[in-house]
Amino acid sequence: MKTTLICPGITGKGFDSLGQGMDSGWISHGLAILAACAKERGFAVDLLDLRALSGWDRYREELLARRPDVVGVSMMSVDYNPARQCLEIVRQILPHAVTVVGGPHPTLMLDEVKDDPIIDHIFLGEAEITFPEFLARRQRGESSQRVIPAVRPDLDALPLTDHEFFLQEWRKWGYDSNSPEAPFVPELPPPFVTIIAGRGCIYNCSYCQPAERIIFGRKVRRRSVPNVMAELQELHQRYHFNSFMFHDDCLTEDREWVIKFCQAYRAAGFTQPFFCQSRADIIVKNEDMVKMMVEAGLRGYLIGFESGSDRVLKFIRKGTKCWQNLEAARICRKHGIAIWANYMLGLPTETKEEVMETIHMLKQIDPDYYSPAFYTPHPGSDLYTYCMEHDLSLLKSHDSYRRNPDEAKIKGVDYEWLQWALAESQRRTWPNRLQRQVRYYWKRYAQPKRIARKLRQMLSMRG
């Protein structure tokens, strides 16, 4: 029995987009670990990644060449349309194949997919246990229920993520980069990889929750430090990575785990730089932990500043204050940590004056990287429900669930003005530009080794 898993993530950059940034250059950890679990049970599993293909005709040809018995599609809300098209084509050309879907969208919006005739089975939540069991039942000729509930696994008991599951497939389509995954900032040189240490989030932001809790449970479940170190050892042996990133929603929420990781990482001889996600309030309250992470190799935080308005931060249940955003940025600067600033414009109830507060905050923070979004009501969140109840949503297609800041998302927002605000939010002040130039040249030319080398050259020339 052959199974093909499909990554349909082409809503952003489309077909033939491998290596083009985060959305087209990183593996899907969900599919990669699902494949590892199925292989551990002895099942043959391969991958079709639409990002690697030239178009739907190529997809059809591959399906006909492989003729899988089971086709599984991972479905994010933003990828709903290409995911359905994948399944429709399976129905047309391989009518006897069993089609299954899983991922966030079916879990959060079951009513939208539960009666879809092109879908045979739906997996809710985490499927590392239920999917291999489903394949085993199929192999024995036994039936399975249409909607299969989640079983939350012990993360340390799972096999390590099968990075090669993606990379082997990518190489077949001409991927010859010197990096397993696409680096996205200069601080993280290739070869670059991504890992996930845990699942879930303890915070209650209304633009995410309760979706996270529905998928992963109320508590964060994190792999043990030895388990994560085992994956890093394997990745280094295989790819000799020079940098990596933690995908976790908020790695730093567990101070004890972070401290143990930093100690183990250094003890193992690793010096490779890494990025992870954090929060302003955590950084402010744990500067000693921040310093320890820098000593271990941390080079950057992705921080959800979101807004410069305390009223808006309270409205979205962020649990932070603007002063904490500013203080967190100061601490990052003090310790040489690059700042990737996530923020939203056009939130429900937000006024133009409050948008200007966000702009003013960003000019004070002066982040290394801007990551703006026009607020997008996303299924499963309380703020999505708020938008539906108040008839605010302007989204006409699942494709619009992208967080891109170039499309009207909700009613009551002046998006023409917001485009100006978006540009202004990323315009650095002259003092900030000057400081950046000074830091750049100091870093480039004022290194002790470089100065010593120059002095030796000058002395040798005189001699």
Nearest CA to 443 out of 451, 432, 454, 452 is that of 451
Residues 234 and 89 in one domain: no
Residues 238 and 297 in one domain: yes
Q: Which helix (H) or strand (E) holds 445?
A: helix 430-445
pLDDT at 437 over 90: no
Task: Tell me the pLDDT of the chain averaged across its residues.
Answer: 95
CB 219 within 8 A of CB 200: yes
Residues 281 and 355 in one domain: yes
CB 103 within 8 A of CB 215: no
Nearest CA to 313 out of 326, 331, 332 is that of 326
Range of the domain at 446: 431-463
Question: How would residue 250 be classed by pLDDT, with cut points 50, 70 and 90?
Answer: very high
Tell whether 277 is covered by a domain.
yes
Residues 295 and 344 in one domain: yes
**pLDDT tens-digit readout, 24-64:** 999 999 999 999 999 999 999 999 999 999 999 999 999 99
Q: What predicted TM-score, i.e. pTM, was given to this entire model?
A: 0.92
Nearest CA to 47 out of 14, 80, 4, 77 is that of 4
Residues 135 and 197 in one domain: no
Angstrom distance (rounded) from CA 197 to CA 165: 19
Residues 395 and 296 in one domain: yes
Phi and psi at residue 277, to the nearest 5°: -90, 145
Angstrom distance (rounded) from CA 245 to CA 262: 14
- Per the structure, the count of domains in the chain is 3
**pLDDT tens-digit readout, 297-338:** 999 999 999 999 999 999 999 999 999 999 999 999 999 999
Residues 318 and 461 in one domain: no
DSSP string, 210-243: THHHHHH-SS-EE--HHHHHHHHHHHHHHH--SE
**pLDDT tens-digit readout, 358-398:** 999 999 999 999 999 999 999 999 999 999 999 999 999 99
Residues 107 and 205 in one domain: no
Tell whether 292 is covered by a domain.
yes
- DSSP H stretches of helix in 348-429: 352-365, 382-389, 415-425
Strands (DSSP E) contained in 133-286 are: 147-148, 192-195, 198-199, 221-222, 243-246, 274-278
Nearest CA to 185 out of 9, 330, 371, 12 is that of 371
Tell whether 74 is covered by a domain.
yes
**Average pLDDT in the 164-178 region?**
95
Angstrom distance (rounded) from CA 48 to CA 172: 11
Residues 422 and 435 in one domain: no
pLDDT at 430: 85
**Average pLDDT in the 271-278 region?**
98
In the chain, the amino acid numbered 337 is I
CB 2 within 8 A of CB 71: no
In this structure, what CATH number is given to the domain that contains residue 406?
A: 3.20.20.70
In this structure, what CATH number is given to the domain that contains residue 110?
A: 3.40.50.2300
Q: Which residues pair with 70 in a beta bridge?
A: 3, 98
pLDDT at 451 over 80: no
Angstrom distance (rounded) from CA 278 to CA 203: 12
State the pairing for strand pair 221-222/198-199: antiparallel
**Average pLDDT in the 117-140 region?**
98
Tell whether 374 is covered by a domain.
yes
Residue with tokens 């939350």: 152
SS3 content of the chain, % helix, strand, coil (to 5): 50, 15, 35
Question: How would residue 353 be classed by pLDDT, with cut points 50, 70 and 90?
Answer: very high
Tell whether 351 is covered by a domain.
yes
3-state secondary structure (DSSP) of residue 148 = strand
Angstrom distance (rounded) from CA 40 to CA 27: 20
**Average pLDDT in the 128-144 region?**
97
Residues 129 and 255 in one domain: no
Please compute Rg for the chain using Cα positions.
24
Nearest CA to 16 out of 56, 51, 58 is that of 51
DSSP state of 44: E
Angstrom distance (rounded) from CA 179 to CA 284: 34
Tell whether 402 is covered by a domain.
yes
Token representation of residue 3: 């199974």
Residues 364 and 447 in one domain: no
Residues 452 and 384 in one domain: no
CB 331 within 8 A of CB 283: yes
Q: Kindly give the interhelix angle for 287-296 and 255-267, rounded to the nearest 10 degrees.
A: 20
Burial of 74 (0-12, 13-18, 19+ CB in 10 A): buried
Tell whether 178 is covered by a domain.
no
